[in-house]
Amino acid sequence: MAGSAALLRALAERGIDWPAGSEWHARLDSTNDRVKALAREGAPEWTVVLADAQTQGRGRAGRVWSSPEGGLYLSVLLRPRVASLGLLPLAAGVAVAEAAAEHGVAVELKWPNDVQVEGRKLAGILAESASGPSGVEWVCVGIGVNVAVPLGALPVELRPRVACLAESGSTPPVATVAAAVLAWLRVWYDALGSSPASVVAAWRRRAVAWWGETVEIRTGEETLRGRLADVDDEGALLVTTADGRSRRVISGEVVQARRAG
């Protein structure tokens, strides 16, 4: 696969000999689904699957992730041996932020897994896992980045809400962006084991500045309204409700977090 060769070259230019296999497809239903199939077959940690386009890309809560050519659609297999799995989407968000900065794009991170430029979505992250008798066996981390997606290829309703790396004035090759994301993901994944507090601090520095503001968060069928307080050491969002109680919202439950009103 030509794309895989380009990725390995881009990684080698960064001094990285990738430790597992990679696949790059012209088109897939979903890179996450392909990685999950490989995980069940016993593929090693850091196996990577990419596609030029996806026909059934998805985000959180089963939402469609529109995936035309021009974007980075990447999924990587992890077999974590760390306790801070709730921090994994935050670590991935920081990795994407670092990669975007290499191309002159400053981003903000919206909890738990959106990467934004001035309120428009540049990237999204979807982590899916499987557990066994001994705990979590593997995690598939899917990352979608709008590199140079033509707005005309997106649904009309999404176009005003999408940002692309190409807006910085240059269009980096998708393989170059993929190598940057993977390189930084390794850095911040390692930090989960050695210094999880550094992951929280790095994420908080880049977070949308809504601390202290009233927000609404939909958790399943419930809509929670309160003042945004902080993120705790395990990556959960802390919200103070009108009656003064502190509510802890974990990543798997949150559907949407937006400014109230």
Distance CA 107, CA 260 (A): 22
Residue ranges, comma separated, of all CATH 3.30.930.10 domains in the chain are 2-205
Give 20-45 pLDDT, tens digit per residue: 999 999 999 999 999 999 999 999 99
Residue 164: pLDDT over 60? yes
For residue 217, the model assigns a pLDDT of 81
Q: Are the C-beta atoms of 258 and 216 separated by less than 8 Å?
A: yes
Sign of torsion, CA 69 72 78 83? negative
What's the whole-number mean pLDDT along residues 243-253?
Answer: 75
Give 189-235 pLDDT, tens digit per residue: 999 999 999 999 999 999 988 888 888 887 767 788 888 889 999 88
Distance CA 163, CA 165 (A): 7
Give 41-65 pLDDT, tens digit per residue: 999 999 999 999 988 776 665 566 6
Residue 252: pLDDT over 70? no
For residue 256, the model assigns a pLDDT of 44
Of 35 and 258, the structure prediction assigns the larger pLDDT to 35
Distance CA 124, CA 192 (A): 20
For residue 175, the model assigns a pLDDT of 96
Residue 85: pLDDT over 60? yes
Residue ranges, comma separated, of all CATH 2.30.30.100 domains in the chain are 214-259
At which residue do the structure tokens 């290829």 appear? 153
Burial of 171 (0-12, 13-18, 19+ CB in 10 A): middle
Give 129-139 pLDDT, tens digit per residue: 998 887 889 99
Shortest CA distance to 60 belongs to which of 255, 257, 258, 259? 255
What's the whole-number mean pLDDT along residues 82-100?
Answer: 91
Residue 92 pLDDT grade (very low, low, confident, very high; cuts 50, 70, 90): very high
For residue 61, the model assigns a pLDDT of 52
Identity of the residue numbered 145: V
Shortest CA distance to 213 belongs to which of 230, 236, 233? 230
Distance CA 71, CA 117 (A): 16
pLDDT, mean over the chain:
88
Q: Which fold has domain 2-205?
A: BirA Bifunctional Protein; domain 2 (3.30.930)
CATH number of 214-259: 2.30.30.100
Residue 187 pLDDT grade (very low, low, confident, very high; cuts 50, 70, 90): very high
What's the whole-number mean pLDDT along residues 72-89?
Answer: 89
φ and ψ of 94, to 5 deg: -65, -40
Shortest CA distance to 200 belongs to which of 106, 91, 79? 91
For residue 254, the model assigns a pLDDT of 40
What's the whole-number mean pLDDT along residues 245-253?
Answer: 72
